[in-house]
Amino acid sequence: MVCVHIPKTIDNDLRNNDHTPGFGSAARFVVQAFKGVNLDVRSLPGIYIGVVMGRDAGFLTAASGLARDYDDDGPHLIYVPEKPFSRDKFVADVKRVYEKYGRCIVAVSEGIRTETGELFVASLKKDLEVDPHGNVSLSGTAALGEALVAELKKELSGRIRCDTFGYLQRSFFECVSDVDRNEAREVGERAVQFAVWGEKDGSVGIRRTGNYSVDYVLNELKDVARITRSMPDEFISKDGNDITNDFVMYCRPLLGSGMRTAARLRAPKVPKLLDK
């Protein structure tokens, strides 16, 4: 018997893969959601926190950075599990951005951890739900967002809101990357070919061969299973609160075609005549 694994994970955390089917479409959803948040928070200024899936890998949260079309667009701050999360640095980062723009948009992975490796939400709340495997339940709960809002309200005033990007980002029917859709079908077809023509087990992998082209390989199961693939250091800013251009170049092709930009009027501002 030959067994061939067909991968699919929006977390994009399988080793020996440039990316996995599902990630491109989920990333497209996250990008479009933050594009909308930019318009909303620009019209009603304040602080907004969006909690995105990703217990151990920050790829999906990092994708939010591609929502920035203008220099002052958010997310202004991006935090992923690969870098330690400090409460004090977070508050200081938000203060700095808020003073500069009069608003601050934050994207944060549900799995951010303290310098000791403890889940940040667990360091603040002790009565969290635990799944059958003993892991703290992160998806489908607003615990992290609410905890971060509470920390900010200790030192900042004004409009502070949060959203948790739950299961909608996993499979939003009207938000599919055409690149992701085509590659997902190709991975399935290659799996059948490997199973019929081959004589060994494995997991179908996507390998990037150019900008942008891919090839499909059969990875050994032992090289894919168990250990999580993390974002490489070159994708994360040195301060640990943003992404780099290397990640933008990596992720952009995966979003597919037809990504829209909200235009801005380029009219001169009229001097204010009335006091508040």
Distance, CA of 147 to CA of 273 (rounded, Å): 40
* Maximal CA-CA distance, the chain: 79
**43 CB-contact burial (10 Å; exposed 0-12 / middle 13-18 / buried 19+):** exposed
Q: What pLDDT is recorded for position 138?
A: 63
Distance, CA of 97 to CA of 125 (rounded, Å): 27
Query: Which residue from 87, 10, 77, 80 is spatially nearest to 49, judged by alpha carbons?
Result: 77
What are the respective helix, strand and coil percentages of the chain, to the nearest 5?
35, 15, 45
**115 CB-contact burial (10 Å; exposed 0-12 / middle 13-18 / buried 19+):** exposed
Tokens of 180: 């992701």
Residues of the chain with CATH 3.40.50.460: 23-174+228-255
The residues annotated as belonging to the active site are: 11
Q: What pLDDT is recorded for position 266?
A: 85
C-alpha distances in Å from residue 199, one per residue of 2, 118, 194, 196, 218: 7, 43, 8, 8, 11
Q: What pLDDT is recorded for position 205?
A: 96
Output the DSSP codes for 30-75: HHHHHHHHHHHHHHS-SEEEEEE--SS--HHHHGGGGG--STT-S-
Q: pLDDT tens per residue, the chain (276 residues)?
A: 899 999 999 999 999 999 999 999 999 999 999 999 999 999 999 999 999 999 899 999 999 999 999 999 999 999 999 999 999 999 999 999 999 999 999 999 999 999 998 888 877 766 656 666 556 656 667 889 999 999 999 999 899 999 999 888 888 888 999 999 999 999 999 999 999 988 889 999 999 998 899 999 999 999 998 889 999 999 999 999 999 999 999 999 999 999 999 888 888 888 878 776
Using the structure block, give the residue that is written with the tokens 């991968």. 7
Amino acid at 110: E
In residues, how long is the chain? 276
Amino acid at 90: F
The DSSP call for residue 13 is -
Q: What pLDDT is recorded for position 142?
A: 82
Superfamily of domain 23-174+228-255 in CATH is Phosphofructokinase domain (3.40.50.460)
Strand pairing report for 213-219 and 202-210 = antiparallel
3-state secondary structure of 136: strand
C-alpha distances in Å from residue 169, one per residue of 75, 147, 152, 164, 192: 17, 22, 26, 10, 28
Using the structure block, give the residue that is written with the tokens 């996993």. 170
Tokens of 114: 């303290």
